[in-house]
Structure 1
Amino acid sequence: MSLKEEYGESLPPIHVTESGCAYDGIDDPERVTYLDGHIGAMRSAMASGVDVRGYFVWSLLDNFEWAEGYTKRFGLVHVDYDTQVRTPKTSYAWYRDLIRASR
């Protein structure tokens, strides 16, 4: 059953926030697969009439997570916490290309 079928016209506009998964590597195909699946599901919901107004990947940069500290890396950009050097991950390039193609 879809959101639209369950809630009909009472379904408010939706913003998908903090959608992401942790992965340690700079080459992160698992994150690409995760994002592709979730964005695909969002597109299916939109095609069925759900008013999706935003989708926000968590997160742009590796950061401090309240429950996990610095041990989980959710960013599309790797941060070396010792040097602060930032390195775009495979998922960054994939998401950039998705956005460019969707314009």
Structure 2
Amino acid sequence: MKKQENEMFDIEKGFSMAANWWADPMVLGKAPEYMDEILTGEELKFISQPLDYFGYNVYFANNYSADANAPDLGWAGMPRTQMGWAITPEVLYWLPKFLYERYSLPILITENGMSNLDFVMRDGKVHDPQRIDYMYRYLSALHRAMEEGIPVIGYTVWSIMDNFEWAEGCDPRFGLIYVDYRTLERIPKDSFYWYRRVIQNGGLED
């Protein structure tokens, strides 16, 4: 990495935009160095309370974004979801490891999934092989972390069905179940049946 990129990217400040600017005070009872003048000792004492686990929503690695605080490691034509988010399965290996090493709490993945260009096809079904491949890769990475001793207590796919997505409205489809917003008809996608087998089998099977 070039010197200029090294100066531009600071692991603490880069990661702060994702987790430790709020998690350090909450879990460790101390503020990152660059927040010392923001939080008082009394506030830190109030914020920091015993926790049973660390829950985190995760979709992609931040250094694959256009964030000016980090070198963009993306490349032309790299795989992305319908939302334009980079597909980086390795984030479900490295992030649980980092969070556990930093906070010593069991890890719960509270959200993970992808928006996809889903529609009802001629056979009346919704085929979403990209989502199945996405979930397989991300779950494989998470399983790798678990095999190395990271205590992962759960994984929640986002989402069970297509829904209203914040400022994006109803266009992004994250669901395992397709929703026709005109009639409210619900059609389980291929990924729904695939993930049901994953749950029934207690994990991934090739």
Is TM-score (shorter-chain normalized) higher than 0.5?
Answer: yes
| Residue 70 (1) aligns with residue 170 (2) | yes
Greater relative CO (CA pairs within 8 A, separation 6+): 1
Aligned to 1:15: 108
Matches within 5 A, 1:51-90: 51-90=151-190
Q: Could you list the per-position Cα deviations for residues 20-53 of structure 1 after superposition, in whole angstroms to 9, with x for gaps in the alignment?
A: 0001222111100110011111111000000000
Distance 2:117 2:161 in 1: 12
What CA RMSD, in Å, does the superposition of the two structures yield over aligned residues? Answer: 2.0
Distance 1:22 1:59 in 2: 10
Structure showing the higher strand proportion among its residues: 1
Distance 1:91 1:61 in 2: 11
Aligned to 1:30: 130
Q: Percent identity?
A: 43
> What stretches of structure 2 of length at least 5 have no aligned partner?
1-92, 119-125
Aligned residues: 101
TM-superposed deviation, 1:99: 0.7
Q: Runs (4+) of structure 1 moved beyond 3 Å?
A: none
Distance 1:32 1:48 in 2: 24
Distance 1:11 1:50 in 2: 10
TM-score by length of 1: 0.89
Q: Could you list the per-position Cα deviations for residues 43-65 of structure 1 after superposition, in whole angstroms to 9, with x for gaps in the alignment?
A: 11000000000100000010000
> What stretches of structure 1 of length at least 5 have no aligned partner?
none
Distance 1:38 1:75 in 2: 16
TM-score by length of 2: 0.46
Structure possessing the higher radius of gyration over alpha carbons: 2
Distance 1:97 1:69 in 2: 30
